Structure 1
Amino acid sequence: MRSALHDFLAPNSIAIVGASADPTKRGYKAMVGLLNDGYEGAIYPINPKADEIMGVKAYASLADLPAAADMALICTPAKTLPALLKQCGENGVKGAIILASGFAEVDAAGAALEQQVLEAAQQADVRIVGPNTSGIFNLHKKVNLLALDNVKPGDIGIISQSGNMLLSLALEAQYNGHIGFSTYAGPGNQTDVDFADYLQYLGEEENTRVATFYVEGFKDGRAFLDVARQTSKQKPVVVYKSGSTEAGQKAASSHTGALAGSYQMTVDLLRQVGVNVVENSDEILPVAEGLGLLQQAAGKRVAVLADGGGQATIASDRISEAGLELAELSETTRNALANILFPQASLANPVDVAGSTDAHPALLADCMAILAADANVDMVFLVGMFGGYSIRFAEELKEEELACADAIIELSKRTSKPLIIDSLYAHIKPTPLQRLREAGLPVYASIEHAVKIMAALGERGAYIQSSQQAENNAPLVVNEDCSASFRKAHAEGRDLFEFEAKSLLRSYGVDVPLEMIVRSESELAGVIKAFGDTPLAMKVVSKDILHKSDAGGVKLNISGEAALNVARDEILASCQQYKADAEIEGVLVTPMARKGIEVIIGMSRDPIFGPVLMFGLGGIFVEILKDVAFRAIPLSRHDARSMIDQIKARKILEGVRGEAAVDKEALVDLLMKVSAIVDAHPDIAELDLNPVIAYDDGYAVVDARVIVDQETQK
């Protein structure tokens, strides 16, 4: 369904409620912005005390307008809003931009007023931006309600929760000289229109090639993910997320719950749906510009062409750190380069021309063409002095540099591979670099920024490729015995016992070792009969004891019936001492797991993003290093594989010091099954499988906890 925001973010008529001739008022600035930019639609100043404002006829109220306005910019105080929104609805206004503050961001009374505003808007069928918004602009429609100077129309859409960040980006674009904007909106409190709504609009908006967001907090992160999953296939989406998701950071009884809600989780989930996340604020505009111009790369293999060893080394370091690769150049490519460069030139990647271009800078275009023709290369990165040869060496080289720029532009038309240029002279904007910029080729003064852009191009290309791989993940057929376990847990006001949690997993094909629940001393004999002389593990089963080890509720490597009796007695005594009123169901006995690599798989329902799965190595890696990866449920197999590949300690899974590599596909299968189980059972509030022992031929779930959402049965 087409976004309703088109009806008023690209308005043909605007009412300014609270228009003013006072230069200190926002109603004045909005009028100035529209008039100075030559807005071609109808402007309706609303002010009962004025006949005209800045030469434009004024009206006492919305009811007095000669025609319905598409948009109302409301500059009046917070208390006036419910009545004004009612008037908007009665007079055909489709959307209102609310500047006033003093709502939920202030206190409880403000929150109550904000709710009244929302209800008034819904009753009037009027969408609202804000309140507490910095405003909007749509430069292709000459709508500049912020009265910003020197911003030019372009293809970057901006949604920013910070008005100062928008100003910073506008000033940066002005300095750059080639960057322009399509639409801007300050979402404010997101009382009605939220980030997902803006993303849908920018995804559909024909003047926008890249949607860019500065986000302090999502209200409905799951909705944003759902829209981004589709939008990011059509055009790039860039997000800078400040801080972390505070809503999810509360005390939790599981590792997963404690780690969920983090900044890392937010970043992981955004990247899962094809969003390019930038980590530093000075990367927002360069990455948005680069993605807007170049869109994507087929892979992450970069060929570096340099006219100096320092730049080549720095570029190589940053490329490696960014998860990109230095392309392995073919013999044909190296021979072709050798034919035109000095003998001392380095033909390995990075390619250092070693003075070959000092007198003949046009050779750089020839080298770029050779590199772009190599099937092993996905992107070509030129670093060094290009654009400044005539400044550094001789004025006579300027014409040759211009011819080189033209040749690079022609190359960009012949190849689908991104060409990125970094120059020492970018800041002073010499003519050859300006010619490249005017032709739509990105030019940067920072190797770091250029590499961030290449990483973003590679990430987007990988997402688009993965999204084209159709997956038919049929939903699980719900097991009735498992549903009965949840009903019993609800009735007793508890979580699943460990044996119930493992039975749940086993019912859906998860590899869980055999075990026995022992409720009395007489049942221990059956354990020996079932498991023989195999060393055993014994754990307490109690709804009142969550952390069994802390209570002395775990015994390992038990052999023989006598030892079983002693272990059971010690566990019961220790647990009763730990919590005297604990209800003990019994003890769980299972064979000791063979040695392998411990991993953890967990799930929690984040209040912003919904059900989220976590994967990482167990032990200190999750406790101290927090070396984990997150993905929103449901998962694709690509998501599951990328989780495993993302963690920093992944080399341990690949086998070190003679150890065999673990069966990654078995772990992928496990992650997919857990995702499907959570999808099938909304009663699961949190789930922890810790540890799971990964082997070279499968895995074993050694411990499992399922926390039940008691609210689902109310």
Structure 2
Amino acid sequence: MSANDPVDETSYPAHWEADVVLRDGTTTHVRPIRPTDRDALQNFHMGQSERSTYMRFFAAMERLSESDLTRFTQVDMVDRVAVVATTMRDGAEAIIGVARFDRLEHDEAEVAFNISDSAQGRGLGSVLLEHIAAAARERGIRRFFADVLPQNGRMLSVFREAGYRQVQHEEDGIVEVTVDLDPTEHSLRVMAEREHRAESVSMRRLFSPQRILVVASLTDEPTPEELRLAKGALASGIGVKGDEPVYVLGMSPVQIRDAQERHGLHDNFVHFASLEQLLDSGLTFDIAILAVSDTAVAPLLSELSEIGVHGVVLLASGFAETGQHGLALQREAIRIAHSSGIRIIGPASYGLFSNAAQPPFNASLAPTRPESGTIGLFTQSTAIAVALLSIANRRRLGISNFLAAGNRADVSGNDMMQFWLTDNESTSVGLYLESIGNPRKFSRIARRLSRRKPIVVVTAGKSGYVVPRGHAVSPTEAPKKTLEQMLKQSGVIRARNMHEMADVLQFFAYQPIPQGRRLGILASSEALAAIAAEAAQSAGLTVTDQVHVVRSMDIENNLQGALESLYSSGQCDIALIAHVPTLGEFPIEAATQVALAAAQSQIPTVASVLGLHGIAPELTIPISDEPGGSNDTTTSSRGTRAFSVPAYSTPEDAVRALEHVTGYVAWLEEDHGSVVYFDGIDKHRVEDLLKDAPNGLLNQEDTATVLAAYGIKLWPVGRAHTPEEACALAEQFGYPIALKSTAAALRHRYDLGGVRLNIASSEELVQDFDEMVNDLERHLGSREYVISQGFDIQAMAPSGVPCVVRSQEDPLYGPVIAFGLSGDAFDLLDDVAYGIPPLTATDISQMVRSVKASPKLFGYKGLPLADVASLEELIARVSLLSDNHPRIRELELYPVIVADSGAAVVSARLTLGEGQRKDGLRRAMTSAN
């Protein structure tokens, strides 16, 4: 295809399409331009002001000529590329922004932008720059040039604030802009911050509705499922708290009255029999709850956008989980929604609510909302949503906001975490995840959120890889430990089940953060005290001398003195109260005394009292928020709040929660540092080498070149097919040398005759060569075949600890870095640490130290200390290499000999494939499968 040929369907880069959230929380669709966009482009141009047209073309142009329309819409997507941002207007797709580049030299291009007047100030220019830059890098463009009028301040600021290395120079009344498209630490940070602001605003709009619409079936004969969903919605108390009525579109008055009689609904509702009646009312809505069948969703969405709806809760299932037909319905619904500025919650969603919004609202199927509080909750499964809210109600946990994403075709846990980053009402958050569609983005956001508030996660199944039908998740080849270590790396607390998640959240919601791991115990029996102490020691807590046994827990029977000793000793960072009454119940006076002592001391306290669970009234007292007022339990409601000691079913449950809490505190106290970068890396050299290389194993010469570009030196190696060739190479490298089989299964197997080490002379080399041929003949077949494969000759590396460093491109996680000590620990015992780039110096340090065999690097039983700093630098360089080049399917450095000075990469295997990252260098919303 020549540079002037129009793009056809086979060359249309569909993977450039993406839905994006803009600065104001609305959405747009970005895609490559098409020849069929002529009319839309002309309408876009004619809708621009004269000033905007002049800024783009440096001249007044009322209309684009036919030749201009052809030139702008018929591009080859290689040397001439254009992308457009679109929205839905009057049921048709309209262009609101254009970005294009034309190649000047082999790696340079001229770029131009044109943003609709109606879309100015929404961040569309920076979005289009990200997307056109990503397309340019894919086509080998490394530098943009642009001519901009000095008075076009908006466009100049887009370039200036993008974070790329750029230069602006004014000459002859034109500002010449040069932009280096290589991503920088600053540009990545800018992109992530803009993504966060946009997605946070989008979610904040969902959590601040002023008017909610329930959409029931518009047909004369609704299906039983439609009726069930609609009546369930009306029965749940959906609406905005206050005088606002419930608005219903669809259903008949008879059906609504039936729902009222059956469920005791209030009669403050407004009914619209048809869309026309609703549109004529002049009312606008923020959220629409759709209790309609799958086929009715898409036609409703564009109509709902006309009345201001920016969030839709899809209660019905029947989409991607049912097969190709349902997947097509879901894709169409998402396409219309995002083009109309609407976010979708669902399908198969239980909805959302907020106790913290002003005013509070309920857009869920929950018949009653839990008490107001500071815990944020997210779940994917509707069934789990019901269970979680039931747990919250039973435990009296206070919830700030809640969202159940169902099949999360759009709104996901990542969106909620972006919201919680700026939500001051939620001080701890819990997520139930059936799948993680974009682990790299999840890790990036979670790491940031964890520094501000604790995140507790439960995954479906121990592995976390249970993917229900309807969820858009790439397959994964990563080991099961990858998810566990990714969560740990991000500071996320992983609970085993919902009850354990509630155990941890109730501590964070109602107790201060502990300042250490010293635990004091007050129990009603020696047995309870022993159980608590044993569990605490196993959990890594330090049990102090402050272990008190007060048998009856009567205030008169030494309880007061035990509490004073426990809390005033200065030996406790945490207190555990355990009581099982052998006769009667836990005295109310004793419970009050425990809560009062805990509140006065501000030492985190947990309780395990038979019959009490969660936030029990018996362990809750009012305290004053005023300075010096925490001791006064008789203050008026003005300036007071409730203080609770959370209760657990068993001492072991309480200690398990404390183990999670103290582990999180330790993570907070660590210096996580910043992502590791190195000067002198030649990224472009690698890009040029890999660009045209075929998939499969890369040859040793090119592998060495790739590694050298990232500052990794591959130990010299030569290939010999005869003893004479082996001796010549040995003379070149210098004795002693190593002789190795080239067979992948044998090259590290000394026990199978695949390796000879420390060969000191030519005579010894000739003898070993002949013996190795004989040994390998038994494993590989004929002698002629063994000789034809040849042997590798290398100078001996300094003695040290042999390790393995591996990077593997996973369809779900992207690059996964693995580290371990070579041998049985790595191959048989799975003693391997994993990390997801980008990695900080702290991440890498923890990876090295987390493998059980790592003491061998630190002088175990008299071994020399290894140069761990050189090893960590090597892992960091491998991390950067794999993160920057998705075509690297697998890179294995094996063995890496870590000596007392330096780390020698003795062997490397690099395999290429087609890489397609989910979390690339552009902003994009969740795929609709």
What one-letter code is carried by the residue in structure 2 that aligns with 1:11?
A: P
Give me the whole-angstrom Cα distance separating, in 2, the residues matched to 1:481 and 1:146.
54
- Which residue number corresponds to residue 555 of structure 1? 755
Are 2:724 and 1:526 aligned? no
1:540-579 maps to which residues of 2 (within 5 A)?
540=742, 554-557=754-757, 558=759, 560=762, 561-563=765-767, 565-566=769-770, 577=781
Give SS of 1:234's match.
coil
- Which residue number corresponds to residue 146 of structure 1? 365
> Contact 2:212–2:363 at 8 Å: present in 1 too?
no
Are 2:450 and 1:232 aligned? yes
- Which residue number corresponds to residue 116 of structure 1? 332
> Contact 2:217–2:291 at 8 Å: present in 1 too?
yes
- Which residue number corresponds to residue 30 of structure 1? 233
Deviation by residue 1:490-530 (Cα, 9 ceiling, x = unmatched): 43443223464455445544465443344776543332313
Per the TM alignment, residue 97 of structure 1 is displaced from its structure 2 partner at its CA by 0.6
**Structure 1: runs of 5 or more not aligned:** 249-257, 330-346
Task: Point out the more displaced range, 600-609 or 312-321.
Answer: 312-321
Per the TM alignment, residue 301 of structure 1 is displaced from its structure 2 partner at its CA by 4.4
Deviation by residue 1:575-615 (Cα, 9 ceiling, x = unmatched): 98499999978542113456644432222223233222122
> Contact 1:287–1:449 at 8 Å: present in 2 too?
no
Give me the whole-angstrom Cα distance separating, in 1, the residues matched to 2:616 and 2:417.
37
Per the TM alignment, residue 636 of structure 1 is displaced from its structure 2 partner at its CA by 1.0
Per the TM alignment, residue 121 of structure 1 is displaced from its structure 2 partner at its CA by 1.1
Give SS of 1:79's match.
helix
> Contact 1:486–1:683 at 8 Å: present in 2 too?
no
What one-letter code is carried by the residue in structure 1 that aligns with 2:696?
A: R
Give me the whole-angstrom Cα distance separating, in 1, the residues matched to 2:600 and 2:649.
22
Give SS of 2:838's match.
coil
Q: Kindly tell me: are residues 401 and 174 of structure 1, through their superposed partners in 2, closer, same or farther at Cα, counting changes over 3 Å?
A: closer
- Which residue number corresponds to residue 567 of structure 2? 369
Give me the whole-angstrom Cα distance separating, in 2, the residues matched to 1:306 and 1:478.
61
> Contact 1:29–1:145 at 8 Å: present in 2 too?
no
- Which residue number corresponds to residue 172 of structure 1? 391
What one-letter code is carried by the residue in structure 2 that aligns with 1:442?
A: P
Deviation by residue 1:162-198 (Cα, 9 ceiling, x = unmatched): 222222222222222x312222222122212122112
Are 2:574 and 1:383 aligned? no
Task: Point out the more displaced range, 556-565 or 606-615.
Answer: 556-565
> Contact 1:19–1:31 at 8 Å: present in 2 too?
no
- Which residue number corresponds to residue 276 of structure 1? 493
Give SS of 1:691's match.
strand
Give me the whole-angstrom Cα distance separating, in 2, the residues matched to 1:399 and 1:686.
65
Give me the whole-angstrom Cα distance separating, in 1, the residues matched to 2:842 and 2:876.
10
- Which residue number corresponds to residue 879 of structure 2? 675
What one-letter code is carried by the residue in structure 2 that aligns with 1:87?
A: E
- Which residue number corresponds to residue 718 of structure 2? 516
Give me the whole-angstrom Cα distance separating, in 1, the residues matched to 2:239 and 2:332.
36
1:329-478 maps to which residues of 2 (within 5 A)?
347=545, 351-353=547-549, 359-371=557-569, 373-374=570-571, 379-385=573-579, 391=584, 399=589, 402-412=592-602, 417-424=603-610, 426-427=612-613, 433-435=619-621, 438-466=642-670, 470-471=673-674, 473-478=676-681
Deviation by residue 1:535-578 (Cα, 9 ceiling, x = unmatched): 4132328xxx6875699893323553423653686699789849
Give me the whole-angstrom Cα distance separating, in 2, the residues matched to 1:685 and 1:281.
37
- Which residue number corresponds to residue 340 of structure 1? none
Are 2:271 and 1:58 aligned? yes
Give me the whole-angstrom Cα distance separating, in 2, the residues matched to 1:485 and 1:101.
48
- Which residue number corresponds to residue 267 of structure 1? 484
* TM-score, length of structure 2 as denominator length: 0.64
1:208-227 maps to which residues of 2 (within 5 A)?
208-227=426-445
What one-letter code is carried by the residue in structure 2 that aligns with 1:78?
A: D
- Which residue number corresponds to residue 285 of structure 1? 502
Give SS of 1:151's match.
coil
Give me the whole-angstrom Cα distance separating, in 2, the residues matched to 1:409 and 1:382.
14
Are 2:827 and 1:623 aligned? yes
Give SS of 1:147's match.
coil
Give me the whole-angstrom Cα distance separating, in 2, the residues matched to 1:36 and 1:86.
22
Per the TM alignment, residue 438 of structure 1 is displaced from its structure 2 partner at its CA by 4.4
> Contact 1:52–1:58 at 8 Å: present in 2 too?
no
1:174-253 maps to which residues of 2 (within 5 A)?
174-176=393-395, 178-243=396-461, 244=463, 246=465
- Which residue number corresponds to residue 793 of structure 2? 589
- Which residue number corresponds to residue 128 of structure 1? 344
> Contact 1:600–1:617 at 8 Å: present in 2 too?
yes
Deviation by residue 1:50-103 (Cα, 9 ceiling, x = unmatched): 499453221112524431110010111111111111212222211111112122
**1:70 corresponds to which of 273, 277, 286:** 286
- Which residue number corresponds to residue 67 of structure 2? none
- Which residue number corresponds to residue 313 of structure 1? 530
What one-letter code is carried by the residue in structure 2 that aligns with 1:279?
A: R
Per the TM alignment, residue 25 of structure 1 is displaced from its structure 2 partner at its CA by 1.6
> Contact 1:421–1:442 at 8 Å: present in 2 too?
yes
Q: Kindly tell me: are residues 572 and 712 of structure 1, through their superposed partners in 2, closer, same or farther at Cα, counting changes over 3 Å?
A: farther
> Contact 2:212–2:239 at 8 Å: present in 1 too?
no
Per the TM alignment, residue 127 of structure 1 is displaced from its structure 2 partner at its CA by 0.8
> Contact 2:397–2:506 at 8 Å: present in 1 too?
yes
Q: Kindly tell me: are residues 697 and 300 of structure 1, through their superposed partners in 2, closer, same or farther at Cα, counting changes over 3 Å?
A: farther
> Contact 1:634–1:675 at 8 Å: present in 2 too?
yes
Task: Point out the more displaced range, 577-586 or 526-535.
Answer: 577-586
- Which residue number corresponds to residue 607 of structure 1? 811
1:628-647 maps to which residues of 2 (within 5 A)?
628-647=832-851
> Contact 1:476–1:676 at 8 Å: present in 2 too?
no
Q: Kindly tell me: are residues 155 and 517 of structure 1, through their superposed partners in 2, closer, same or farther at Cα, counting changes over 3 Å?
A: same
> Contact 2:889–2:915 at 8 Å: present in 1 too?
no
Give me the whole-angstrom Cα distance separating, in 2, the residues matched to 1:563 and 1:480.
44
> Contact 1:152–1:181 at 8 Å: present in 2 too?
yes
Deviation by residue 1:300-339 (Cα, 9 ceiling, x = unmatched): 44444555443333333333433x2316x6xxxxxxxxxx
Q: Kindly tell me: are residues 573 and 259 of structure 1, through their superposed partners in 2, closer, same or farther at Cα, counting changes over 3 Å?
A: farther
Q: Kindly tell me: are residues 400 and 17 of structure 1, through their superposed partners in 2, closer, same or farther at Cα, counting changes over 3 Å?
A: closer
Q: Once superposed, what is the RMSD of the aligned Cα atoms? A: 4.0
- Which residue number corresponds to residue 107 of structure 1? 323
- Which residue number corresponds to residue 11 of structure 1? 209
Give SS of 2:817's match.
strand
Task: Point out the more displaced range, 124-133 or 55-64.
Answer: 55-64
What one-letter code is carried by the residue in structure 2 that aligns with 1:208?
A: S
Task: Point out the more displaced range, 121-130 or 578-587.
Answer: 578-587
Task: Point out the more displaced range, 261-270 or 644-653.
Answer: 644-653
Give me the whole-angstrom Cα distance separating, in 2, the residues matched to 1:607 and 1:615.
20
Q: Kindly tell me: are residues 105 and 712 of structure 1, through their superposed partners in 2, closer, same or farther at Cα, counting changes over 3 Å?
A: closer
Give me the whole-angstrom Cα distance separating, in 2, the residues matched to 1:547 and 1:500.
23
Per the TM alignment, residue 431 of structure 1 is displaced from its structure 2 partner at its CA by 6.7
Deviation by residue 1:440-484 (Cα, 9 ceiling, x = unmatched): 3323232232223222222322333335x5437335543379628
Give SS of 2:818's match.
strand
Give me the whole-angstrom Cα distance separating, in 2, the residues matched to 1:550 and 1:574.
14
Give me the whole-angstrom Cα distance separating, in 1, the residues matched to 2:248 and 2:784.
74
- Which residue number corresponds to residue 692 of structure 1? 896
What one-letter code is carried by the residue in structure 2 that aligns with 1:195?
A: G
Give SS of 2:644's match.
coil
The total of aligned residue pairs comes to 666
